[in-house]
Amino acid sequence: NAGVTQTPKFQVLKTGQSMTLQCAQDMNHEYMSWYRQDPGMGLRLIHYSVGAGITDQGEVPNGYNVSRSTTEDFPLRLLSAAPSQTSVYFCASSLGGTGSNEQYFGPGTRLTVT
Task: Quote the least distance from Cβ 39 to another protein, whole Å.
Answer: 10
Instruction: Return the range that interacts with another protein (CB under 8 A); candidates 10-18, 21-29, 68-76, 89-97.
Output: 89-97
**Whole-number Å distance between alpha carbons of 77 and 66:** 6
Asked if residue 56 binds another protein (CB under 8 A), the reply is: yes
Task: Quote the least distance from Cβ 16 to another protein, whole Å.
Answer: 28
**Whole-number Å distance between alpha carbons of 58 and 109:** 19
Task: Tell me the Ramachandran region of residue 3: left when phi exceeds 0, alpha when psi lies from -120 to 50, beta otherwise.
Answer: left
Asked if 4 and 92 count as a contact pair (C-beta separation under 8 A), the reply is yes
Asked if 35 and 19 count as a contact pair (C-beta separation under 8 A), the reply is no
Asked if residue 8 binds another protein (CB under 8 A), the reply is: no
Among 19, 27, 45, 95, binds another protein (CB under 8 A): 45
Which residues are CB-contacts of 84 (< 8 A; sequence separation ≥ 6)? 113
Task: Quote the least distance from Cβ 20 to another protein, whole Å.
Answer: 20
Q: Given the rule CB under 8 A, which residues bind another protein?
A: 31, 35, 40-45, 48, 50, 56, 58-59, 90, 96-100, 102-103, 105-108
